[in-house]
Amino acid sequence: MSLVRALLRHPSGRIGGCIILLFLLAALLGQLGLTPHDPLKQMRLDRLKPPSLTYVMGTDLFGRDVASRVMLAIGQSFIVGFLAVGIAATLGTVLGLTAAWFGRLWDGVVMRSMDVLLAFPAILLALLIIAVAGPGTWTSVTAIAIVYTPIFTRVVRGPALSIKTREFVDAARTFGSSRRYILTRHLMLNLVAPLTVQVTLALAWSLLTEAGLSFLGLGTQPPAASLGLMLADARNLMEMAPWLLIFPGLTIMIGILGFNLTGDALRDILDPKTRRAMA
Amino acid sequence: MNYLTRRLLTFPLVMFGVSVLVFVAIRLVPGDAITAMLGTEAGLLTPEQKAALASYFGLDQSWFTQYARWIAGVLSGDLGLSVTYGKPVLDVILDRFPLTLQLALMAMVIALGTGLPLGVFAATRNGKAADLGVRVLAMIGQSTPSFVVGLLLIYFLSVGFGVLPAMGQFVPLWQDPLTNLGQMILPAITLGFAFTASVTRISRSAMLDVLSDDYVRTARAKGAPARRVIWRHALPNALIPVVTLSGVEFGYLLGGAVLVEQIYALPGLGRLVLEAILQRDYALVQGTVLFIAFNFLLVNLLVDLAYVALDPRIRLGGN
């Protein structure tokens, strides 16, 4: 709770938090089917209508309501993003913690494997995975998860290594605490701060990657709504119907901005070093 | 072992890992490789013809033998044959690479050329309105995907000014520099947009760190002019994180080129990867991905070397 309060006191945190809440609400309503219009229904008579009171963001080439589709698409982005980041954070934490704890050969194997994954530009690694598994929502989740696992592994391993040598861990060992207890209680709790920051920032990247993959036609497949897909469709129509470009484009931008702002605010709040610098 | 040797030794190790990953990934593609290679035409082959092709390409051998053969080929510059182009993969890559390299370099020049001065400017006005303005802009810039930037640029230029980006047949730099730059400037801005924002943010915060250091205060105290303190004393030390960022980011620029080349219909390496994936030309996917990863690693290695040159402490230190 104190974290939420601190976030609300931080200017970027306030704006970022509001954006995320607004997007979550839109996504939830979209997934519950509570959109202004049916996002998949083609209203043939109302094709390419500019924004109006009936269609706040206009309609697309098939006469579908853009606002409703944007709401549905935000949900899609969030599902992919949250799942992928959840998987990456879990995998990365387990790998990073065990690498730091066991050291030696296991540490070497894990960290060199992560180096290999990091040797690919993110979108390229995602493309390689899609080349193997074929495009689709689940492939996007897997691809994004694999791309971000090494980052979480690194974020966890560094601090875990330094915490491992601290006195309170030695003390816990002397008291006869089990390895599992030390790992989950002492190490994990101290890693919550860097992980929280990283998860928020990774969510921003995963929104970006999901939209990018869908834009290339390799992510979410039509007729499902996705912001990247909507932009790809808007490309040839943008002079005639700029609203098809502007609303989905702004939505992606503001969504990513929300997570970036929140991530930055969290870093300021949770990292004692920057906290000192700010004061 | 000092830092430099260790760094040089990990390069081939990671590159080996990359090659294994790419090799295995391609072999995990569902269906047999001959069908994957020939597409629908494979349906016309008799089982004997298929077996003959498989043995011709060495596909009937164990993965280990196949890998050994492939890597021996790669080391001698033979990346295999592209089915869609009917040419050696390396030739196709080298045809496309100059464009992507030029794009990434131009994006980098734009990003450093605008981001660095902006960051330094913001740092010298820490906490003032100008600083806040730069920070807000940088935050928005960092949050805007390249394809949104690209599409918006094309839209506003074509609607607002009636200028369409020079698309059409791509002209290489050495044939007609002016036409080429005209074709490349918008894609380079698009690709460099988010990078400019990160350079601004990193150089601002690095500059702020350095400006509060004792030696800068000393320089000020002995009466060095403000301009000299900023550009001569502070900036060189603030550059280290910027150099690191540029190295990492250069790889992302090579990757990000996939989207930008797609928007502007530029025949570069990024678009080649995409085409290869869509056409299921696996030799080409394998070759291009390996090629890009190699360049990415190479740039990172060079950056680390530059880092050592910039900061002598690293040469001796354990990490």
Q: What is the pLDDT of residues B44-67, one digit of tens each?
A: 778 888 788 777 777 777 888 888
Nearest by CB: B293 against A119, A234, A260: A119
Q: Provide the 3-class DSSP secondary structure of residue B176.
A: coil
Residue of B19, B37, B148 to mutate, testing the A interface (most A Cβ within 10 Å of its Cβ)? B148
Residue B154 CB contacts under 8 Å (≥ 6 apart), including other chains? A238, B164, B165, B186, B263
**B152-191 per-residue burial string, b: 16 or more CB within 10 A, e: under 16:** bbbbeeeeeeeeebbeeebbeeeeeeebbeebbebbbbbb
Test B14 with A212 for CB contact under 8 angstroms. Answer: no
The pLDDT confidence band at residue B319, using thresholds 50, 70 and 90, is very low
pLDDT greater than 50 at residue B318: no
Q: Which residues contact B240 (CB under 8 A, 6 or more apart)?
A: B206, B307, B310, B311
CA nearest neighbour of B272 among B258, B293, B253, B291: B258
B309 vs A260: which has the higher pLDDT: A260
Give me the residue from B144, B282, B296 closest to A120, CB to CB: B296
Report yes or no: B274 at the A interface, CB cutoff 8 Å.
Answer: yes
- Count of C-beta atoms within a 10 Å radius of residue B215: 12
CB-closest option in A115, A211, A231 to B14: A115
Instruction: Report the candidate in A125, A85, A88 with the shortest Cα–Cα distance to residue A206.
Output: A85
- Dmax (CA) for chain A in angstroms is 77
Q: Which residue of chain A has the CA closest to B254? A: A121
* pLDDT tier, B100 (very low <50, low <70, confident <90, very high otherwise): very high
Any idea what the Cα angle at residue A163 is, between residues A159 and A165, rounded to 5°?
A: 130
Confidence band of B31 (pLDDT split at 50, 70, 90): low
**Average pLDDT, integer, range B178-203:** 90
- Which of residues 221 through 250 in chain B touch A, CB cutoff 8 A? none
Rounded distance between C-alpha atoms, residue B16 and residue B62, angstroms: 19
A262 neighbourhood in chain B, CB within 8 Å = none
Whether A122 sits inside 8 A of B13 (CB atoms) is no
Cβ–Cβ contact B132 with A under 8 A: no
CA pair distance B173, A225, nearest whole angstrom: 40
List of chain B residues whose C-beta atoms are within 8 Å of the C-beta of residue A132: 25-26, 28-29
* CB within 8 Å of chain A, chain B residues 247-266: 251-252, 254-256, 258-259, 262-263
Whether pLDDT at B33 is above 70: no
**Closest-approach residue (CA) in chain B for A237:** B155
Q: Residues B113-135: pLDDT tens digits?
A: 999 999 999 988 888 888 999 99
- The residue that leads in pLDDT, A99 or B174, is A99
Give B-chain residues touching A231 at CB under 8 angstroms: 147-148, 151
pLDDT per residue of chain A (279 residues) written in tens, 0 to 9: 678 888 888 888 999 999 999 999 999 998 898 888 888 888 878 887 888 888 888 888 887 888 999 999 999 999 999 999 999 999 999 999 999 888 889 998 999 899 899 888 888 888 889 888 888 899 999 999 999 999 999 989 888 888 887 788 888 888 878 878 887 777 777 788 889 889 999 999 999 999 999 999 888 888 788 999 999 988 888 888 889 999 999 999 999 999 999 998 998 888 755 544 443
Residue A279: per-residue pLDDT: 36
Nearest residue of A to residue B264, measured between CA atoms: A235
Q: Which pLDDT score, from 0 to 100, does residue A273 have? A: 57
* pLDDT computed for residue A261 by the predictor: 93
pLDDT at A276: 45
- The model's pLDDT over B229-256, given as tens digits with 9 standing for 90+, comes to 877 778 888 888 888 788 778 877 887 7
Q: What is the chain B residue with the closest CA to A129? A: B25
Check: CB of residue B268 under 8 Å from CB of residue B102. Answer: no
Torsion angle defined by CA atoms of residues A253, A254, A255 and A258, in that order, rounded to the nearest 10 degrees: 120
- Identify the pLDDT of residue B111: 94
Residues of chain B in contact with residue A115, where contact means CB-CB under 8 angstroms, are 10, 14, 17
Helix (H, G, I), strand (E, B) or coil at A239: coil
ipTM of the complex, rounded to two decimals? 0.86
The answer to whether the beta carbons of residues A83 and B215 sit under 8 Å apart is no
